[in-house]
Amino acid sequence: MDGDARINPYLTGNFAPVRTEDDFELEVVGEIPAGLRGALYRNGPNPQFEPRDPNHHWFSGDGMIHGFFVGDGKVSYRNRWVRTEKWNLEHAEGRSLFGTFGNPMTTDPEYIGRDTGGAANTNIVWHGGKLLALEEAHAPFAIDPDSLEPVGSVDLGGKVTAHPKFDPDTGEMVFFGYADAMMPLSPMVSYGVADKDGRLTRRETFEAPYSSMVHDFMVTRNHVLFPILPLTGSLERAMGGKPPFAWEPEKPALVGVMRRDEDTTKIRWFSTDACYVFHVMNAWEDGSKVVADVMKYDVAPLFPLADGRRGRQCGAYLVRWTFDLADASDTIREERLDDLAGEFPRYDERFTFEQNRHGWFAGQTTKPGDIRTNTVSHIDLKTGRRGDYIAPVGDGVGEPVFVHRSDDAPEGDGWVLAVAYRAAEDRSELLVFEAQDIAAGPVAVAKVPRRVPYGFHGNWVDGR
């Protein structure tokens, strides 16, 4: 690594990429539950080569899928890069070609403006019989669910961001794309729907009040909600050598609410104090109200101010936002639900569109605002009680993924899976918990003989 790379926090410690693709049978300590059979797929950034940009951002590394295949009490592991066109071009050249977020100022001049399928590095979902790797700014990329080898880009009419929602009534995938135009960092946002077989049935575009990084959104049975929060994008700023994305709290914090059976000209904008939300737990309707539980930051983390100065870091906390569609006020009502800083909220997705009682998230007990979360936490939203598994000092635990025990099991009855990093041994583990007894610790641990870098999102697919 050169001098810049050595001091970049996203290229050191367990953020640093691994350079090998491996297949391991894992040592299991404890007992894998007999009913747990399938695969946990997890996606995250893993640069193939040293980045061109001295200000390389964690969010821009090449996607790498880590697959944990579980059955008959055993666990095997496989990791592969997502071989998008970008990955293939750079692999052939033997070097990085593109700047962070495609920034033309740090992209090889020969490749400026070339759409290469992106990094596919943020989430991985199963829909329409395909395993899809997703990121912010490009089409989904399908991979083989067993070998993790590339299948290819999937055309859904343009960008599909990393957090689609799945309608349990229809099987539809509801999604959006931001900066959705030929011009990067534009205020254009699109809304789309793919049917249960993965066929595009709707796509329309509207102009948001300004260009914002819209990482996640909310969907209920009858409504869709678009957060336009002041983590702003600016091509002009980027071309002037300043950050492509930056925190501008003087801009309004807005959430647009639209009925799913109407078009984007009918969006109603609600407002709140300056804040940022990366992730939503769940959303539902309560009479004339739409309610959403989200992890809210008072200041957008991981990004600088518009002039390039470092921003203030803070933790995210689970809050409940209420939008009263029958009220003349367009102010979002807010209630904090818990006092532990955290990220990556999840729930039993069989209860999508319903008010869920049980939720899980990765918490941070020692340094609120540190993205290296160190707990798996279960919260009972009916009683307010929370149970935590706290990792040893220096270790990290990623997003918890819920797996139901059976199709007809009560809400929250099942297991939670999470990938942990063990700093003292510089390796990782797959942890398996009883979902409602997280504080008791894992019932089984599958040991990976090397580390799995910190990543983003994963999902469970039954029966693989």
Distances in Å between the Cα of 19 and the Cα atoms of 79, 140, 253 are 11, 24, 40
pLDDT at 398: 97
pLDDT at 6: 53
- Residue 1 located in a structural domain: no
pLDDT at 287: 97
pLDDT at 182: 63
Q: Would you say 91 is a known binding-site residue?
A: no
pLDDT at 136: 87
DSSP 65-134: EEEEEEETTEEEEEEEE---HHHHHHHHHTS----GGG-GGGS-GGGTT--------SEEEEETTEEEEE
CA distance 201 to 13: 44
- Residue 257 located in a structural domain: yes
pLDDT at 368: 85
- Residue 111 located in a structural domain: no
Sheet bearing 188-194, strands edge to edge: 165-166, 173-178, 188-194, 200-207
CA distance 33 to 74: 10
- Residue 232 located in a structural domain: yes
Q: Which domain holds residue 266?
A: 173-276+283-313+326-333
Indicate the number of domains in the chain. 1
- Residue 126 located in a structural domain: no
CA distance 55 to 67: 30
Q: Would you say 66 is a known binding-site residue?
A: no
pLDDT tens track of the chain, all 464 residues? Answer: 343 445 788 999 999 999 999 999 999 999 999 999 999 999 999 999 999 988 889 999 999 999 999 999 999 999 999 999 999 999 999 999 998 877 788 888 888 877 777 899 999 999 999 999 999 889 999 999 999 999 999 999 999 999 999 999 999 999 999 987 667 789 999 999 999 999 999 999 999 999 999 999 999 999 999 999 999 999 899 889 899 999 999 999 999 999 999 999 999 999 999 999 999 999 999 999 999 999 999 999 989 999 999 888 899 999 999 999 999 999 999 999 999 999 999 999 999 999 999 999 999 999 888 889 999 999 999 999 999 999 999 999 999 999 999 999 999 999 999 999 999 999 999 999 999 999 999 999 999 999 999 999 999 999 85
Residues whose CB is less than 8 angstroms from the CB of residue 195 and which lie 6 or more positions away in sequence, other chains included? 128, 170, 171, 172, 201
- Residue 309 located in a structural domain: yes
Give 275: exposed, middle or buried? Use CB within 10 Å, 0-12, 13-18, 19+.
buried
- Can you say whether the dihedral through the CA atoms of 106, 141, 458, 31 is positive or negative? negative
Pairing of the two strands 130-134 and 141-143: antiparallel
Helix and strand element counts for the chain (H, E): 3, 33
- Residue 404 located in a structural domain: no
Q: How many CB atoms lie within 10 A of CB 13?
A: 16
Q: Would you say 215 is a known binding-site residue?
A: yes
Q: Would you say 57 is a known binding-site residue?
A: no
pLDDT at 361: 98
- Residue 381 located in a structural domain: no
